Amino acid sequence: MTNNERILLEKLEKENIESLSKRGRGTELEKYCSWIGISKHGTAREKAIRLLNWYDSNTYKERLKKYEHLKLKINIKTGTHGKTVRGSISQYLWLKKIRPAILTKYNYKCSICGFEPEESERKQLHVHEIEEYDFDQDICELKGLELICSSCHSFYHLYRSYSVTTKAQMDELISHFTRVNEIEREEYQEYVRLLQCSWRNESIKSIDEQINKGYYDCDKIVTFKISYAIPYKEEVVKQLKKKGLYIEN
């Protein structure tokens, strides 16, 4: 990292879009863009966005530590393209056996925010699969099942949530997130921005590594491990084995 880059990191630490975009800062912004080799073209706001994106990409790992304590975190579905244990077994086993057992275990309450719907509204409670992926071996390991409400679940699939909700619905979901975590909306926005840097960098790295190894394939077969004592585990394993999708621990 050059000396100019270090100076710029310190300067941008206290800046935001509004402060950088103020009238009279055009020459200053062009200088900063020159320091780090990014485009100087466009409006002051466009230059400010590029500078802050550069700042985020160089500081996100350390700044994300601020949000490690959050009760409700944000995630995205990582690279197995929707291939899960739930999607690989019969819906009867999942809906009629496993789901009722998890509902009872968590006493019909969201394990994150404590939401307890009326009996007729229990469809708002979802059984979420906690998974870990081994991309080298194309293995998805099921490490647990938790009961969470639809609002909390939305943040485990954030990109999808933005694509299928209206602006008003997403605004209410964000309010839910800030209430559960007792943070301000500005902190939510920063958290999402930093996560986007992390996801972008890790996704590019993962895909590049697989392409270099010569086996990146969106239609690859994913096999499963189960390291958690889920309800009806023997039946689940039996069904997965029948399809050749189960790997012994």
Read off the pLDDT of residues 210-230 as tens digits, 9 standing for 90 and up: 445 444 455 678 899 999 899
Domain boundaries, position 133 = 85-242
pLDDT of amino acid 159: 86
Q: Looking at the structure, do residues 89 and 58 belong to the same domain, yes or no?
A: no
Same domain, yes or no: 150 and 53: no
Q: Do the domain assignments include residue 61? A: yes
Gyration radius (Cα) of the chain, Å: 22
Q: Is residue 73 part of a domain?
A: no
> Given this model, what pLDDT does residue 136 score?
79
Separation between Cα atoms, residue 228 and residue 141, nearest integer Å: 9
- Residues in the chain predicted with pLDDT less than 70, given as ranges, are 76-82, 203-219
pLDDT of 80 reads: 55
Cα atoms in the 13 Å half-sphere on the side-chain side of 50 = 19
**21 and 49 co-located in one domain:** yes
Task: Indicate if 226 and 156 belong to the same structural domain.
Answer: yes
Whether residue 100 sits in one domain with residue 47: no
Residue 77 placed within a domain: no
- Nearest C-alpha neighbor of 48 from the set 64, 81, 25: 25
| Domain co-membership, 132 together with 62 | no
Asked whether residue 74 is assigned to any structural domain, the reply reads no
Whether residues 222 and 185 fall in one domain: yes
Q: Which of the listed residues 40, 67, 94 is the one where a domain comes to its end? A: 67
- The number of folded domains in the chain is 2
CB 167 within 8 A of CB 124: no
| Domain shared by 215 and 119, yes or no | yes
Provide the pLDDT for residue 78: 54
Which residues contact residue 139 at a Cβ distance below 8 angstroms, ignoring those fewer than 6 apart?
Answer: 133, 222, 223, 224, 225, 247
40 plus 93 within the same structural domain: no
H or E element that contains 103: helix 99-105
The answer to whether position 80 is within a domain reads no
56 and 164 fall within a common domain: no
pLDDT digits (tens, 9 = 90+) for 173-191: 999 999 999 999 999 999 9
Q: Which of 119, 187, 128 is nearest to 152 (CA)?
A: 128
Q: Same structural domain for residues 204 and 119?
A: yes
Give domain status of residue 144, yes or no.
yes
Handedness of CA 146, 131, 191, 193 (dihedral sign): negative
What pLDDT is stored for residue 199 in this prediction? 83
Q: What is the pTM of this model?
A: 0.82
Residue 170 lies in a domain: yes
In a domain, 247, yes or no: no
112 & 165 share domain: yes
